[in-house]
A = this chain, B = another copy of it.
Amino acid sequence: MKIEVLKENLKTNVNVIERVVGKNLSLPILSNVLMRTDESFLNLISTDLEIAIKLWVLVKVIKKGTVVVPAKFLSSFISSLPNNKITLESKEQNLYIECENIKTQIQGYNPEEFPIIPELKDAGWLEIDSKKLYNGLSQVVDIASPTQTRPEISGVYFSFLKNHIKMVATDSFRLGEKSIYLEEAIKKEYSFILPQKSAREVMGILENKEGLIKIYISSNQVLFESLFKEVKHPHIQITSRLIEGEYPNYQDIIPNKFKTHIILKRDEFLNQIKTASLFSGKVNEIKISTSKEKQEVEVFATNRDIGENKSSLPATVEGDSIEVSFNYKYIIDGILNIKSSEIIFDVSKEEGPCILRPVGDSSYTYVVMPIKSI
């Protein structure tokens, strides 16, 4: 293999490819990147066996070939080079790099030891706007909780039905659901559970990108392929295994009747919860109460070792007066997933699930369980 490429171009792409690379002591080959020429592209591949990233960089190919080198090391080294043209050449297993007055040899490994990334066969597919997918994932991904006992809730649940994609995540204490409307109806229904790590990798690659993403779905794998505006070729593919199992029938727990309906200013509510959180105890307990007469919400926390904090903020309050305790972390996460300037906060019943929603946007629902009083 012999190619020429601009440093910045290679660096950007090696930074992407190294994302899934970790230390794998039992299979050290996985800490490498496979580089091979593919027509006028350099094809870079990395995998941790759960996720695989493949991407294509436009380069000047002088001689075809393949080389396998440590991914993180390559990334640090490329970053350290001057912004100029780089020549990469493989000799036996090693990679020789020249840039300006710098000559380097990096020890490589046998390309045949590198795992083969399985192709998706007979997969159905659909297209979605990259920004919508990114924003939707960002509102649910952190809620999923990696757990051994209930692996099915350790990922993001995708369901595709007619004109909607729904993305859901829960850790059994709270749940987020985001619905994305599709212009064109889907012909077939699909659903799958994407591991949280894969969802984060997909987000990492979509961030600040415009264009369409093509999703190919098979029974045990999913492939996200970029069709970004700035590059004509489909230059990135992420393949991920799927989580087996049945996602819980979550729709039953989303309440649809409410005892109290509150509308609050988002930033003010967030700040008061953060301030009160400093005074919360071991279970992160803060108390939220309302009185219909006063049209305000009171946030209270106390801790016998530290002191206590109480604040009131104006709100629109309809329905019964309430006093509910929450883990402040769950409330903060919910508020952070909502970007509207006002937030709907609905209480269903004593010790029942509560709901946070953006005002003026019914596509997002955050359900949170209160702390039960003893």
**Chain A residues with a Cβ under 8 A of chain B:** 70, 73, 76-77, 80-82, 94, 101-107, 271-272, 274-275, 278-279, 305-313
Contact = CB atoms under 8 A, between A and B. Distances in A.
B101 A307 contact: no
A308 B73 CA distance: 12
Given A101-B312, A312-B101, A275 B307 contact: no
A312 B343 CA distance: 61
A106 B275 CA distance: 13
B271 A82 contact: yes
A104 B310 contact: yes
Contacts of A73: 278, 306
Contacts of A70: 306
Contacts of A76: 278
Contact of A275 (B102, B105, B275, B306): B102
Contacts of A308: 104-105
Interface centre among A82, A104, A274 (most CB of B within 10 A): A104
A77 B303 CA distance: 14
A101 B300 CA distance: 12
A105 B307 contact: yes
7 closest A-B pairs by beta carbon, nearest first, are A102-B311, A80-B275, A106-B307, A105-B307, A104-B309, A107-B307, A101-B312
Contacts of A274: 80
B307 A94 contact: yes
Contacts of A82: 271
Contacts of A306: 70, 73, 106-107
B310 A275 contact: no
B102 A305 contact: no
8 contacts: A77-B275, A80-B274, A80-B278, A82-B271, A102-B275, A103-B309, A104-B279, A107-B307
Contact of A310 (B81, B103, B311): B103
Contact of A77 (B81, B103, B272, B278): B278
A101 B271 contact: no
Contacts of A278: 73, 76-77, 80
A229 to B, nearest CB: 34
Contacts of A81: 275
A296 to B, nearest CB: 9
A7 to B, nearest CB: 12
Nearest to A76: B278
A146 B76 CA distance: 31
A205 B173 CA distance: 45
A107 B278 CA distance: 13
Contacts of A102: 272, 275, 309-311
Contacts of A105: 307-309
Contacts of A103: 309-311
A102 B94 CA distance: 65
Nearest to A80: B275
Contacts of A107: 305-307
Given A80-B271, A81-B275, 7 more contacts: A70-B306, A80-B274, A80-B275, A102-B310, A103-B310, A104-B279, A106-B307
Nearest to A279: B104
A308 B106 CA distance: 7
